[in-house]
Amino acid sequence: MAADTKARVKELTEALKNTYHITPGLAVVIVGDDPASRVYVNNKKKACEAVGFVSEEYALPAETTQEELLALVETLNSKPDINGILVQLPLPKHLDDKAVIAAINPQKDVDAFHAVNVGKIMLGEYDFLPCTPAGVMEMLHSYQIPVEGRECVVIGRSNIVGKPMGMLLLHENGTVTICHSRTKNLAEVCRRADILVAAVGIPKFVKADMVKEGAVVIDVGMDRDENGKLCGDVDFENVKDKCSFITPVPGGVGPMTIATLMKNTLKACKLQNNIAD
């Protein structure tokens, strides 16, 4: 699915270049040397190359100040050839990620984290959707899994995944419960779910006894198990035979997240150049 999405973006990018002589541009800012962030940034650069975008990487040292980072964002806001700005999170602890996100021009906020874009998502009148929840919805649509009228449980309430995920399921008439560390009887709540989305950041947190027979299980986690091997928030081996659909880690939601980022950047380029979709 991710490959199909990127192929479509590549096709549309070629048409944009041929008709308007415009190439979408994405700037990725990474501060410090977090190994997981480095992997994500490299994957985003590869995806940009694959679809024909211009990609610019700004790798800043861990001791970068708030002022320096905000100055870079301001420079990128005013660059006409940069349509999308992505600041890789998490930032080092001395930096204020909220202020950095607020500084990004909402039209270039291809992660859809800016308050303006978050508000539009709440209203259901958005330009961009956060890449991971949008990728999840794309998977549900592609496999013709209905959301309407079904019990949807999201574990995790982050601004990046949990909250927008709940909102997108709600927009499609799902009955949504968002769980978190203070939820009572968590396993019981999860067992009600027809669609269960795990975005909690704890390796193999979702056990087989938390999953209803025939449920659709979406694993957003990217963790490492006790042997240092990549795994998700779901105990895949013990859960997979119980559900109707399950996403693997790696190779499930991750590739869809990056494919959606490419779609968002293309859309941003068209919006900024007043080109009809």
Separation of alpha carbons 94 and 44, rounded Å: 25
For 253, the enclosing helix (H) or strand (E) is helix 253-272
Give bridge partners of residue 31 from the DSSP assignment: 60
For 176, the enclosing helix (H) or strand (E) is strand 175-179
Q: Give the phi and the psi of residue 207 in degrees, each rounded to 5.
A: -95, 165
The closest alpha carbon to 114, from 123, 105, 126, 122, belongs to 105
| Dihedral angle sign, alpha carbons of residues 66, 72, 53, 59 | negative
Report angle CA 176, 178, 181 to the nearest 5 degrees. Answer: 160
Residue indicated by tokens 């013990």: 238
Separation of alpha carbons 68 and 85, rounded Å: 16
E strands in 83-122? 84-87
Chain center to CA of 274: 25
Catalytic residues: 44, 88, 111
Separation of alpha carbons 215 and 132, rounded Å: 20
